Amino acid sequence: MKILVTGGAGFIGSAFVRLMLASDPAVRILNLDKLTYAGNLENLEPVASSPRYRFISGDICDPALVDRLLLDEKPDAVVHFAAESHVDRSILTPAPVFETNLRGTFTLLEAARVRRLGRFLHVSTDEVYGSLEEPLEASEDFPLNPSSPYSASKAGSDLLARSYFLTYGLPVIVTRASNNYGPYQFPEKLIPLMISNALEGGSLPVYGDGMQVRDWLYVDDHCRALRTLLEKGREGEIYNIGGSCSLPNLEVVRRIAAAAGLPASRITHVVDRPGHDRRYALSSRKIVSETGWRPQVGFEEGLARTIEWYRSNPGWIERVKSGEYRSYYQRNYLDRERELRDARRA
């Protein structure tokens, strides 16, 4: 099987490429990635020299490139990860989010329709359901209620993907996973940001009261679910993929501080994310009953593995935290905190 992976130099895409090449000797992977701030070829060093792997530098919004790739390479499937994936950045700078997540997805779908692709796995998120009151859980037919530019763009791209199935019969599957964590995650997201700050002995900036709830899914469990759906998923269907591990952010951060030997006083409550969703909760009954997939890595074990990985890879952290990351950190944390203080004084 030949798979075109988009965004394979990012966190989840690279985990999927590594998993597929390691677990299936018949698989060949083409990785199309623009290498934005979040794309990192170091994440693919373990597979870079494999004859079954090829990297293509390029933008999913480029119709000529995408069409050429499908025509020349004739992949059996596309697994579409490429996206602007961070909520806070989507609030600070929304334009690239809509460009990549909507126009990029449309460009891929259109080429897939013209070139009669065999399977299109569109990787999406539980954020499209919005914030849910206890004890609600979203199943796949739950209404879409996105809050941020990021989640609105993902909801839009899900609908686009579905429309290509309903209108043109393109064999699309949409997946919606909960919060992933694990090695190689860019340290703008909660868990790697807190781990890398903790390892430096820095402060741990929790938004608002920290009682927002997320469902944590170890990245390899997510990738195993995607592999299962490539094989057994039904065309035109949506599948939720949850970690069955709901925790308030503050609890997650407390565990990271404790594992790093930091006192709880390093946890600081900072200005909240605008439009911050309070609680995500997914039902994964459908994927479990149809395919038998289940998460295998519990949170305690997954977090320990993740902390150990960041501890053992200080060079990786140092390189991704240099340059652009510093100005993002300044804007999202220090400038917003100052703006709030100034507004209170005025």
Cα–Cα distance between 119 and 206 in angstroms, integer?
A: 40
Is 238 an interacting residue with respect to ligand NAD (CB under 6 A)? no
Binds 10: which of ligand NAD, ligand DAU, none (CB < 5-8 Å by kind): ligand NAD
Structure tokens at 154: 């993902």
Reduced to 3 states (helix: H, G, I; strand: E, B; else coil), residue 5 is strand
Out of 17, 61, 161, 253, name the contact with ligand NAD by CB under 6 A: 61
CB 7 → ligand NAD: shortest distance, Å?
3
Binding of ligand DAU at residue 207 (CB under 6 A)?
Answer: yes
Q: What is the DSSP string of 77-96?
A: EEEE--S---HHHHHH--HH
From the candidates 59, 84, 88, 127, which is the catalytic residue? 127
Per CB under 6 A, does 190 bind ligand DAU?
Answer: yes
Candidate residues 142, 164, 280, 316; the one interacting with ligand DAU per rule CB under 6 A: 280
Query: Under a CB-based contact definition with an 8 Å cutoff, are residues 217 and 225 in contact?
Result: no
Q: Does 39 bind ligand DAU (CB under 6 A)?
A: no
Contact predicate 290/139, CB 8 Å:
no
Check 150, 181, 310, 328 and give the catalytic one.
150
The stretch among 57-65, 159-167, 251-259, 279-287 that binds ligand NAD (CB under 6 A) is: 57-65
CA distance 152 to 277: 13
| Minimum distance from residue 57 beta carbon to ligand NAD (Å) | 9
- Identify whether 126 is a catalytic site residue: yes
Q: State the Cα–Cα distance between residues 14 and 186, nearest whole angstrom.
A: 12
Residue 178 binds ligand DAU, judged by CB under 6 A? yes
- What is the smallest separation between the CB atom of 59 and ligand NAD, expressed in angstroms? 4
R_g of the chain computed on alpha carbons: 20
Which range in 72-80, 101-109, 122-130, 167-175 contacts ligand DAU by CB under 6 A?
122-130
Q: Look up residue 339 and give its amino acid.
A: E
What amino acid occupies position 99? E
Candidates 39, 75, 205, 233: give the one binding ligand DAU (CB under 6 A): 205
Cα–Cα dist 60/329, whole Å: 27
Q: Report the partner that residue 11 touches, choosing among ligand NAD, ligand DAU, none (CB closer than 5 to 8 A by kind).
A: ligand NAD
Q: Considering only 22-30, 53-61, 266-274, 279-287, which stretch makes contact with ligand NAD by CB under 6 A?
A: 53-61
Closest CA relative to residue 11, chosen from 37, 29, 30:
37
**Does 221 sit near ligand DAU (CB under 6 A)?**
no
E strand intervals along 178-235: 179-181, 204-207, 213-218
Q: Are strands 77-80 and 2-6 parallel, antiparallel or unpaired?
A: parallel
Structure tokens at 60: 């999913």
Catalytic member of 126, 140, 158, 188: 126
- Does position 82 interact with ligand NAD (CB under 6 A)? The reply is yes
Angstrom distance (rounded) from CA 13 to CA 4? 11
Binding-site partner at residue 207 among ligand DAU, ligand NAD, none, CB < 5 to 8 Å by type: ligand DAU
Active site residue 127: yes
Question: Which residue from 105, 69, 74, 108 is spatially nearest to 2, judged by alpha carbons?
Answer: 74
Q: Give the whole-angstrom CA distance, residue 128 versus residue 159.
A: 11
Query: Which residues contact ligand DAU (rule: CB under 6 A)?
Result: 85-87, 125-127, 178-179, 189-190, 193, 205-207, 212, 214, 249, 273, 280
Query: Which residues contact ligand NAD (rule: CB under 6 A)?
Result: 6-7, 9-13, 33-36, 38-39, 59-61, 81-83, 85, 100, 104, 123, 125, 154, 177, 179-180, 186
Question: Could you list the active site residues?
Answer: 126-127, 150
